[in-house]
Structure 1
Amino acid sequence: MSDIRVLVADDRTITRHGLVATLREYADFEVVGEAADVADTVRKTEMLRPNVIIVNGAAERAEPNELMRALSRTFGNGIPAVLILVDAPEARFFRAQHEGARGLLLKQSSTDHLCTAIRMMAAGYSLFLASSFGPAASGEQPPAEPPEDPASRLSALTPREFDVLRQIVRGYTNAEISRRLCLSEGTVKSHIQHMLTKLQLRNRVHAVIYAFEIGLTPDPEPLDDPSPNPQPDQIEPRCLAPRG
């Protein structure tokens, strides 16, 4: 797979260098440049053609809304994917979405979450906190009432539907989930459909994005030889024979 070309925009040198150093630890990322302000970001985007631009939402000289307007003037609809790192969702980031930003990630997210977000955006997906961002439209403002916490929807799932969601987040196919949970593939498909309906999601890709947004990360893979006294929820179910 080709390296994902990343440009980091932040007017704080220390935090910018820290982010660059972190991304360079991953073989599929190529940090092609750094920028400290809007003009520098636009110029280096033209020169270096990054796949993803990471912007510090707290930057003053690379303020996200101003940057998005400058990128729009220069590239039109050909703006690279822009991921904004924020301390907390704010109305101005809603406007940045309207200006063409494709992603929003909280700064307290883990490095794994950041890398997953970059890979997803390089693949063409958008990534926003569902609890804070609705469909962008000209002049639209965020809702006045606090929106529903998307994580609260998990309470509508049955234990088995939740198990299936966790397996999807791990990247398993229906056939693999069938073997791991000792269910027929037809039953797995039924659980997936019910899970998607209850969580108000369109497909399993959106299920992974949803899980990412609410912090539902994949559990560590179970050991073949578990500890002498494992907790019940640490033991993966085993099938003695295939079941139809």
Structure 2
Amino acid sequence: MLTKRVTVTVHASDPLSRAGLISHLRHQPSLDVLPERGEDGRERAPGTEGEAAVAVMLADRIDESATAELRRLLRGRDQRVVLVAGELREPDLLSVVEYGVRAIIWRHQATEQRLLSAVHSAARGEGELPPDLVSRLLNQVGRLQRATAAGATAGGSVPLFGMAPREVDVLRLLAEGLDTRQISEKLAYSERTVKNILHALMTRLRLTNRAHAVAYALREGYI
């Protein structure tokens, strides 16, 4: 079965780093790498003229300029970003996920195959995180979850929206790193049912992607 071609833009503050990413992606048969700037000389963001589906952004660290660039790339409708990161501090991790970044790859692990997989996952609306980042995300939202529970015990607010048991089941398996096919096999659902459950959940709670849904569920104490 032929893989649908995905159009990509590449963004990095360092021209040499950007050129390296482009060299990894440009000769992939399933990708079309668009110039960062259009014919008018303006910077091109995914989803604007040229129909780029995914933006690949390289950032050594999430500082003020990197955050501004992420927001610029994600401000349009249904933007999909793959972040190649040199380092991520814990306070930055949840923020990056909640911004709507679809996939994160460590810079030192950014092989051609990893980049290709992340781009196609992002184009499908799915996400990818390195295993060590999943662990850090779980720890971080666990702390937030306990703080939320303490606030509720002290008379604070409780989550406005609930989750159905099957939504929780799907998100729990998603948090364990299973993909759509594996979740469908585990729960004896069709893949379409799993996708519909996630789509309905994310639409109802206004969550940007699967990683954001897992983070929300963990933070609110559902998983």
TM-score (norm 1): 0.49
Match of 2:135 in 1: 131
Describe how 1:52-131 pairs up with structure 2 within 5 A: 52-58=54-60, 63-73=65-75, 75=76, 78-90=77-89, 91-109=91-109, 110-128=111-129, 129-131=133-135
Provide closer, same or farther for how the CA distance between residues 125 and 14 of structure 1 changes in structure 2, counting only shifts above 3 A.
same
How far apart are residue 206 of structure 1 and its match?
A: 5.8
Deviations for 1:8-58, whole angstroms, at most 9, x for unmatched residues?
Answer: 0101111101111221121111001236xxx8354x652222111011122
Native 8 Å contact 1:86 1:107 kept in 2 = yes
Counterparts of 2:121 and 2:63, CA distance in 1? 27
Q: Which has the higher helix share?
A: 2
Structure 1: stretches of 5+ with no match in the other structure: 136-140, 146-195, 208-244
Counterparts of 2:64 and 2:105, CA distance in 1? 17
Match of 2:20 in 1: 18
Native 8 Å contact 1:83 1:101 kept in 2 = yes
Provide closer, same or farther for how the CA distance between residues 27 and 133 of structure 1 changes in structure 2, counting only shifts above 3 A.
same
The 10-residue stretch of structure 1 (126-135 or 92-101) with the greater mean CA deviation from structure 2: 126-135
Match of 1:181 in 2: none
Structure 2: stretches of 5+ with no match in the other structure: 145-171, 184-223
Whose relative contact order is higher, 1 or 2, with alpha carbons under 8 Å and at least 6 apart?
2
How far apart are residue 61 of structure 1 and its match?
A: 9.6
Counterparts of 1:61 and 1:96, CA distance in 2? 11
Match of 2:163 in 1: none
How far apart are residue 86 of structure 1 and its match?
A: 0.9
Provide closer, same or farther for how the CA distance between residues 124 and 45 of structure 1 changes in structure 2, counting only shifts above 3 A.
closer
Q: Tell me which structure has the larger Cα radius of gyration.
A: 1
Deviations for 1:196-241, whole angstroms, at most 9, x for unmatched residues?
Answer: 98x945566468xxxxxxxxxxxxxxxxxxxxxxxxxxxxxxxxxx
Figure out how many residues of one structure are paired with residues of the other and give that number.
144
The residue type paired with residue 125 of structure 2 is: G
The residue type paired with residue 120 of structure 2 is: R
Native 8 Å contact 2:84 2:107 kept in 1 = yes
Counterparts of 2:55 and 2:35, CA distance in 1? 10
Partner secondary structure for residue 132 of structure 1: helix
Provide closer, same or farther for how the CA distance between residues 89 and 203 of structure 1 changes in structure 2, counting only shifts above 3 A.
same
How far apart are residue 144 of structure 1 and its match?
A: 6.0
Native 8 Å contact 2:74 2:81 kept in 1 = no
Q: Percent same amino acid among aligned pairs?
A: 16
Counterparts of 1:50 and 1:62, CA distance in 2? 25
Match of 1:153 in 2: none
The residue type paired with residue 43 of structure 2 is: D
Provide closer, same or farther for how the CA distance between residues 132 and 48 of structure 1 changes in structure 2, counting only shifts above 3 A.
farther
- Stretches (4+) displaced over 4 A: 59-62, 141-145, 199-207
Counterparts of 2:51 and 2:88, CA distance in 1? 28
Q: CA RMSD in A?
A: 3.5
Native 8 Å contact 2:26 2:32 kept in 1 = yes
Counterparts of 2:138 and 2:52, CA distance in 1? 27
The residue type paired with residue 79 of structure 1 is: D
Provide closer, same or farther for how the CA distance between residues 4 and 105 of structure 1 changes in structure 2, counting only shifts above 3 A.
same
Describe how 1:1-244 pairs up with structure 2 within 5 A: 1-34=3-36, 40-42=43-45, 45-58=47-60, 63-73=65-75, 75=76, 78-90=77-89, 91-109=91-109, 110-128=111-129, 129-134=133-138, 200=176, 205=181
